[in-house]
Structures are given as structure tokens and as C-alpha cells.
């Protein structure tokens, strides 16, 4: 007798719960982005409100999120390699289910649901394939040559080749002056490479003024 009473009580409780909840159902369909639904990872989840309710794909690519109480939910597919669109799911007190596509991070309203309502049971398709690999950046030779340090380095290399030809016909005094200027240029380069721009330009201006005064004296 107690067993029969317990069984009847469990059935009544189950019926009451069933009347207060509903299952959200749908299916994942192939498209050009996902030609074969079997390519989805085995742990693909159908979740409501970030995990409040969770279901998994069945062998026939369908799903059923059970015992969903009346309320407003966001449904999304949580999978490894593909991106699916989100959906608003509205379950009323009579267990009627209305789905709306293109769920956004906005406050849902009856007018929004009406304007964006979609077929139910849900028909889900992938909208994008996830790409975990970044394309390698190409080398831009022009931007490389625009670097001031690179320009200074190329200029110093050019001077190394041109200077010996220029000084071959100079006398001893002029040769000493050229060597002094060469050491100043080298010092200028060292300060530029160390990032000491203020000292670099102050030294450059000082050398320029000294050179100008020497020229005036010679005159």
C-alpha cells in the first residue's frame, strides 16, 4: 500500500514539474561553412544563459534542453571550432516557446521578439569558423628604410666607401681635419644609437659653431 501511495505521489510531482517547465528543442543543420555537422567537437554544448541549462547534441544532430522554467533566456552553441548565432528564447507561463534570432546585448522587449521571431523548433547553422592562427606579418622594406638609425647606418657605410677616394688627393693638414670630422661623425652615431638625442644635437651644434669660427679666422 505504501509503495502504491509513493508511486502515485511521484507521478503527481512529476506532472506538476512538467506543467511548470518545458523542453527547448532544435537541430543543427549543415551549410557551406559547416558542410558536415559531424565535424563539431564531441563536447559541443547547447547552453541557456551562460550555463543555467545545458544540453548536448544527439547522434541525429538534434538537441533538447529539458525542464526549462518560464522566463527569458539567451541560447548559444558552445563549441570549439565554429561560431553560431545567439537566440532569445521566451517561455511564458503556459509553456509556449517563442524564439528570436540575432540576440544582442540589449534589453529584450515584446516588439523586438516580434520583429526578430524565427522558426521553432530552432534551426541552427554555423556563421563562422574559428581561426586560432594569426597570419604572419609581411616584411615592409620601405618602413624599415624609414628608420632613422637605419638611415644613419647606411650613411656611415656609404661614407666608409666614398671617403678614402675623397681624401686621396688631400694634403696632410686637410687630412687631419677630415679624420677629426670622421671621429665626430662616429661619436654622433654612437649617441644616436644610445638614444641620447639631446647630447647628440648639442654636440652637433657645438661642432658646427666651431667649424664656422675656424672658417672666419682663415678669412
Confidence of residue 66 (pLDDT cuts 50, 70, 90): very high
Please tell me the predicted confidence (pLDDT) of residue 190: 64
Residue 164 pLDDT class (50, 70, 90 cuts): low
Q: What whole-number percentage of the chain has pLDDT above 90? A: 34
Beta-bridge partners for 63: 26
Q: Could you tell me the pLDDT band of residue 124, with boundaries at 50, 70 and 90?
A: very high
Is the per-residue pLDDT at 206 higher than 70? no
Domain extents for the chain?
A: 22-129, 141-211
The reported pLDDT for the residue numbered 17 is 43
Greatest mean pLDDT among 97-101, 133-137, 157-161: 97-101
d(CA 66, CA 55): 8
| pLDDT given for residue 153 in this prediction | 75
Averaged pLDDT of the chain: 74
- Report the pLDDT value the prediction gives residue 14, as an integer from 0 to 100: 40
Q: pLDDT for 169-201, tens place per residue?
A: 666 676 667 666 666 666 666 655 555 555 555
User: 22-129 architecture in CATH?
Assistant: Sandwich (2.60)
Per-residue pLDDT for 119 more than 70?
yes
Specify which of 14-18, 75-79, 114-118, 200-204 reaches the highest per-range mean pLDDT.
75-79
pLDDT in tens, 52-63: 999 999 999 999
Provide the b/e sequence for 100-122 (b: ≥16 CB within 10 Å). beebeeeebeeebbeebeeebeb
Asked if the model's pLDDT at residue 27 lies above 60, the reply is yes
Mean pLDDT along residues 38-49 = 91
d(CA 128, CA 68): 28
More confident residue, 43 or 102: 43
Amino acid at each position: 500500500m505504501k509503495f502504491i501511495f509513493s508511486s502515485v505521489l511521484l507521478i503527481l510531482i512529476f506532472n506538476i514539474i512538467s506543467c511548470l517547465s518545458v523542453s527547448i528543442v532544435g537541430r543543427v543543420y549543415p551549410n557551406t561553412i559547416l558542410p558536415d555537422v559531424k565535424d563539431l567537437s564531441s563536447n559541443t554544448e547547447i547552453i541557456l544563459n551562460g550555463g543555467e541549462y545545458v544540453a548536448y547534441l544527439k547522434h541525429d544532430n538534434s538537441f533538447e534542453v529539458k525542464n526549462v522554467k518560464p522566463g527569458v533566456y539567451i541560447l548559444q552553441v558552445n563549441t570549439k571550432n565554429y561560431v553560431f548565432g545567439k537566440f532569445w528564447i521566451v517561455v511564458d507561463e503556459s509553456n509556449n516557446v517563442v524564439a528570436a534570432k540575432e540576440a544582442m546585448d540589449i534589453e529584450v522587449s515584446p516588439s523586438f521578439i516580434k520583429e526578430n521571431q524565427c522558426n521553432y523548433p530552432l534551426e541552427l547553422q554555423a556563421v563562422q569558423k574559428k581561426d586560432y592562427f594569426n597570419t604572419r606579418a609581411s616584411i615592409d622594406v620601405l618602413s624599415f628604410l624609414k628608420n632613422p638609425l637605419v638611415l644613419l647606418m647606411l650613411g656611415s657605410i656609404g661614407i666608409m666607401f666614398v671617403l678614402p677616394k675623397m681624401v686621396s688627393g688631400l694634403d696632410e693638414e686637410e687630412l687631419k681635419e677630415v679624420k677629426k670630422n670622421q671621429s665626430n661623425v662616429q661619436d654622433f652615431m654612437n649617441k644616436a644609437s644610445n638614444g641620447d638625442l639631446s647630447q647628440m644635437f648639442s654636440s652637433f651644434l657645438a661642432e658646427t659653431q666651431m667649424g664656422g669660427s675656424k672658417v672666419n679666422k682663415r678669412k
